[in-house]
Structure 1
Amino acid sequence: MVSSKKENPSGIEIVAYDEKWEKAFSLLENVLVNALEDLILCIEHVGSTAVKGLGAKPIIDLDIVIENDQLLPNIIQQLSRLGYIHEGDLGIKGRDAFARQDRFVPWSETGEQWIAHHLYVCSKDNEELKRHLAFRNFLREHPKVAAEYELLKRNLAKNAKTRAAYTEGKSAFVERILRSCDE
């Protein structure tokens, strides 16, 4: 028997779109909005799970949008109470990443286990936020392009040797779409 590592060296699995992703986002959004209240402007569901019909890694990407970076220390403190760990910008200026201490984060009285998710905080004028929203919105409005993107991701997941190679392999496609959004 051939090991799955040889079949998929990147370890990335792209699965068919799941209607549960939208509900999972809504539940997470509700908990976060209640915890952060007036500190935030909104929470955006970004990434492939935010595009109906698009196959993706089953990980929800959330961008918490704040008025300005001066609010970040308060946000870090509140998210810490929910079990999130501030990781800094991870090389993307103005977008702060947060890891989960365990699968129960955000912690709640119910002890719910949450779907895997990536959480970011950025100000409303952040360029990475603008890119996330532009790319998501373009894919939502162009199902044929979304299907093309899914095929690319499936091929990369199967053939890329590392996660970095998978991500790099998507870059040209993403940049092409973002350029078309600017035109």
Structure 2
Amino acid sequence: MVEVVDHQPAWAERFSELRAAYARALDAAGAPYRSIEHVGSTAVPGLAAKPVVDVDVVVAEAGVDGATAALAGLGLVPRGDLGVAGRYAFGVPERFRPSNTYVVVDGSLALRNHLAVRDTLRSDAALRAEYDAVKRRAAAVAADIDEYLLLKSEVLGRILARAGLSDDERAAIADTNRRIATRGAHG
């Protein structure tokens, strides 16, 4: 069963704590980064979500190793790209839970996907309400997280279309999401 709950204002506060900890570690290590983004459904006020804060540490491609080392210094465990080009996942220690943390290459389709979903849902109340309903229904019937991801795929495609991602980009994202759900390799 997948837990989806009403939006919690505390998620923004938790992201701020994570951003500050990650920024301190990156700065101390001299690891350049472009931004640290709150992504996923917890980043969208009013949207129901799994109660896990998603964080993207955005770096130039050349900065992946430095950012990975800096986060590993905090106890995060590098897990590789898990089949998502340009996105590197981490296992997080208890003090950073519940969260998913990624180092994401600036300009990558993975980052554009995360930002497009977040920004579109923040600005489109009707689409946000529809996605909220789909997430709640999917959570109620899905046997596991993989089925939950598949049940959301149609509306996610429409969100990405509204955000202006091309047919090819949306197809690539859908294919990646299907592979992740099939393998159970989500971050």
TM-based fold match above 0.5: yes
Q: 2:5 and 2:145 mapped to 1: Cα distance?
A: 16
Structure of greater relative contact order (alpha carbons < 8 Å, 6+ residues apart): 1
Letter in 1 for 2:125: P
Does 2:131 align with 1:149?
A: yes
Does 2:53 align with 1:53?
A: no
The root-mean-square deviation of aligned C-alpha atoms, in Å, is 1.3
Corresponding residue for residue 27 of structure 1 = 17
Larger Rg: 1
SS in 2 for 1:61: strand
Letter in 1 for 2:130: E
SS in 1 for 2:51: coil
SS in 2 for 1:122: strand
Corresponding residue for residue 6 of structure 1 = none
| Length-normalised TM-score, structure 1 | 0.85
Does 2:83 align with 1:96?
A: no
Aligned length: 162
Corresponding residue for residue 162 of structure 1 = 144
> Following superposition, which runs of at least 4 residues in structure 1 exceed 4 angstroms of deviation?
none
| Structure 1 residue runs without a partner (length 5+) | 1-10, 105-113
Report the Cα offset of residue 115 of structure 1. 3.9
Report the Cα offset of residue 119 of structure 1. 0.4
Corresponding residue for residue 132 of structure 1 = 114
Corresponding residue for residue 36 of structure 2 = 43
Identity of aligned residues (%): 36
| Length-normalised TM-score, structure 2 | 0.83
Corresponding residue for residue 122 of structure 1 = 104
